[in-house]
Structure 1
Amino acid sequence: MESEKTPASEKLVLVELREGYRVLTLNRPNRLNSFNASMHAALMSALVAAEADKTCRALILTGAGRGFCAGEDLSDEIYTSGATPDLSITLDRLYNPLVRKLRDLPMPVICAVNGTAAGAGANVAFGCDIVLAARSAKFIQAFAKLGLVPDSGGTWFLPRLAGSARARALALLAEPVAAEQAEAWGMIWRVIDDTELMNEAHRLAAHFSSQPTGGLALIKQALDASQTNTLDQQLDLERDLQGQAGRTADFKEGVAAFAEKRPPRFVGRR
């Protein structure tokens, strides 16, 4: 675990506090921000801290250097020692909890993909709520090149984002998808010029920092549930969540602002 006194250059996840939101930066640029156990621990710790901070109403996740994340670090000793690691344990202890945490956070998570997002790195990005990509970025389901199965939610996200036919081809061929193609296929929200990527990410996060955070969390919950619910189940869920939303101070403020023809001042409690 990193200490508070660890120099920024040595921290595996950089945390920047902004008014109403946080920026988390994967910080192993010499390894294209590929994951090892220590970076997993640092990122999970940063996510838990952001969730506990009631003033944090949005997150930006990005990478240091020329890439977002190259997935698992295959230069790690567990792969180079000649041993046969149990990858199911790695997923169960590290990647699966990470993806679940990203999906369950009660605030919008913006992923700013600043370069290559490969393997688990691509699927962690897809696990965020809004994905922005630099024009030079690309997404690669690299697993087939190693005889592996897409993980970190890849086999769940891809068919829902790109459609079944594209998901199968992407997973089986392991061919890179350019950022503009990913946008055209609906895999990401928007392509941004490289020099403007972080400006746009900050603009979105600042917007969310003044919005009704509790209501946005309920939207996330409803959309995720819709992937498996029947229409009847989803209608019932919408009823229940709307009941919760209608009892919040932010709903009352939204109605008052509408009646008074002024911008709302949401407190964003969650």
Structure 2
Amino acid sequence: MPFLTIARDGAILTVTMNQPETRNALTGNTAVDEFVQLCQDVQRDASVKAIILTGAGPVFSSGGNVKDMQRFFDDALTPDLIREEYRQGIQRIPLALAQLDVPVICAVNGPAIGAGLDLTCMCDIRIASESATFAESFVRVGIVPGDGGAWLLPRAVGMARASEMAFTGEAIDAREALACGLVSRVVAPEELLPTARQLAEKIAANPGAVMRMTKRLLREGQGNSLATLLELSAACQAVAHKTADHREAVTAFIEKRRPRFQ
């Protein structure tokens, strides 16, 4: 069975991590290859405007498979080999999602642990069920965030809170996650996917090409100077002004009607 189950409804994809028997662990299976393939497929498909990512079962994702980590005890697996395994393995997920221009809404249905928490930070918007918890727990199993968590988490919650979470490994609940900005909404479990769907529909109602450029500018703004981002914005804006959707949006506004985007 594939790790990811993908359902499409119009311009929205709902992607479910579907290995509840492993608590949707991201290692020891085909998760990496499937996430990379998903990002490549969506990037090429201009008709996709939004993605909802969630997990099957009571857990969003337990991150790395701790039982699988026992194989690293083998002296034949040298530090050089392990480093390369991370490069060719789980590190491909944040790199793939960073190149994806389609907005991703993370619907966190339960515990997001270790790499599972970091996966939520790779998404653009996070909505949590009241039963969700979040833990940057690598230190508790004697390892570091090997999937980019040291870059991702501080950008979501700030350096001080990220440091506290990473140094203690302790979990925070959904309300604490809301207070520190890790998630933007907390809803009842039965309202999680409907809420994510409503948000995805609002996103998908807008012009797809402009939405993709907007996401790219937001991402590039995290690592570039204001002057560089202004140059990128001017280039994207020049393209946007020449799209049929821009013409339709302006015309619809003047005519006081709803726009009909291509």
- The residue type equivalent to 1:203 in the other structure is Q
User: In the TM superposition, what is the alpha-carbon distance from 1:193 to its structure 2 partner?
Assistant: 1.1
User: In the TM superposition, what is the alpha-carbon distance from 1:118 to its structure 2 partner?
Assistant: 0.7
* Aligned twin of 1:113: 108
CA distance, structure 2, for counterparts of residue 49 and residue 199 of structure 1: 25
- The residue type equivalent to 1:24 in the other structure is V
Q: TM-score, normalised by structure 2?
A: 0.91
* Aligned twin of 2:13: 22
CA distance, structure 2, for counterparts of residue 249 and residue 207 of structure 1: 20
For these two proteins, the number of residue pairs brought into alignment is 257
User: In the TM superposition, what is the alpha-carbon distance from 1:96 to its structure 2 partner?
Assistant: 2.1
- The residue type equivalent to 1:109 in the other structure is V
5 Å-filtered alignment, 1:33-112, equals 33-35=24-26, 36-76=28-68, 79-80=70-71, 82-83=73-74, 85=77, 86-112=81-107
Partner of residue 2 from structure 2, selected from 8, 11, 36: 11
User: What secondary structure sits across from 2:240 in the alignment?
Assistant: helix
* Aligned twin of 1:4: none
- The residue type equivalent to 2:114 in the other structure is G
CA distance, structure 2, for counterparts of residue 158 and residue 11 of structure 1: 28
* Aligned twin of 2:249: 254
Cα RMSD between the aligned structures? 1.8
User: In the TM superposition, what is the alpha-carbon distance from 1:52 to its structure 2 partner?
Assistant: 3.1
* Aligned twin of 1:188: 183
CA distance, structure 2, for counterparts of residue 233 and residue 48 of structure 1: 27
Given that 2:32 and 2:92 are in contact with CA atoms closer than 8 Å, whether structure 1 keeps it comes out as no
User: What secondary structure sits across from 1:115 in the alignment?
Assistant: coil
Task: Give per-residue Cα distances to partners, 1:117-166, cap 9 Å, x unaligned.
Answer: 01111111111111111011011001111222223221112222211111
Q: Identify if the C-alpha distance between structure 1 residues 239 and 188 changes in structure 2 by more than 3 Å, giving closer, same or farther.
A: same
CA distance, structure 2, for counterparts of residue 170 and residue 87 of structure 1: 25
User: In the TM superposition, what is the alpha-carbon distance from 1:80 to its structure 2 partner?
Assistant: 4.3
User: What secondary structure sits across from 1:152 in the alignment?
Assistant: coil
Larger CA deviation: 174-183 vs 86-95: 86-95
Given that 1:123 and 1:151 are in contact with CA atoms closer than 8 Å, whether structure 2 keeps it comes out as no
Task: Give per-residue Cα distances to partners, 1:166-195, cap 9 Å, x unaligned.
Answer: 111111111111111111111122111111
* Aligned twin of 1:3: none
CA distance, structure 1, for counterparts of residue 82 and residue 190 of structure 2: 37
CA distance, structure 1, for counterparts of residue 103 and residue 238 of structure 2: 21
User: In the TM superposition, what is the alpha-carbon distance from 1:234 to its structure 2 partner?
Assistant: 2.1
* Aligned twin of 2:155: 160
Larger CA deviation: 114-123 vs 214-223: 214-223
User: What secondary structure sits across from 1:256 in the alignment?
Assistant: helix
CA distance, structure 1, for counterparts of residue 55 and residue 114 of structure 2: 15
- The residue type equivalent to 2:41 in the other structure is A
CA distance, structure 1, for counterparts of residue 85 and residue 16 of structure 2: 22
Q: Which structure 1 residue ranges, 4+ long, deviate > 6 Å from structure 2?
A: none
Q: Identify if the C-alpha distance between structure 1 residues 254 and 151 changes in structure 2 by more than 3 Å, giving closer, same or farther.
A: farther
User: In the TM superposition, what is the alpha-carbon distance from 1:51 to its structure 2 partner?
Assistant: 3.0
Unaligned 5+ segments in structure 1 are: 1-9
User: In the TM superposition, what is the alpha-carbon distance from 1:219 to its structure 2 partner?
Assistant: 1.4
User: In the TM superposition, what is the alpha-carbon distance from 1:58 to its structure 2 partner?
Assistant: 1.1
User: What secondary structure sits across from 1:191 in the alignment?
Assistant: strand
User: What secondary structure sits across from 1:51 in the alignment?
Assistant: helix
2:219 is equivalent to residue 224 of structure 1: yes
- What is the percentage of aligned positions where both structures have the same residue? 33
Larger CA deviation: 256-265 vs 100-109: 100-109
Q: Identify if the C-alpha distance between structure 1 residues 87 and 122 changes in structure 2 by more than 3 Å, giving closer, same or farther.
A: farther
